[in-house]
Amino acid sequence: MMYPFLTLNDDTEITHSEMKIDGKVKVYIETPDDLGGFHNATCWLPDYKWEDIEGYSETEINYFKQLIRNNAHLIIEFSKEGGILNAAFC
């Protein structure tokens, strides 16, 4: 299951999975494009392993890398709680 984490002004959605048994968390980034499709990328925490990057420029990916690094501690914590909405009410 994927949980919402953040929506940016350009409608980019950042979601994350629950923490897997091996301690990993999938972070998925998706931005709608002008053609009705999406740009997307996946980052696995805590290793910061990036994969399946499609449609983003190097500048955009560098921005997302910094954004994820700055918020990884929150994403990892929320992944243990069933997402930000469940963590907020505990």
Does the pLDDT of residue 15 top 80, yes or no? yes
Write out the residue range of the structural domain in which residue 37 sits: 2-88
Is 90 exceeded by the pLDDT of residue 88?
Answer: no
What is the 8-class DSSP label of residue 57?
-
Torsion sign over Cα 89, 67, 51, 40: positive
Q: What is the average per-residue pLDDT within 37-59?
A: 97
Nearest to 38 by CA among 46, 47, 29: 29
**pLDDT grade for 54, boundaries at 50, 70 and 90:** very high
Task: Give the count of domains, the chain.
Answer: 1
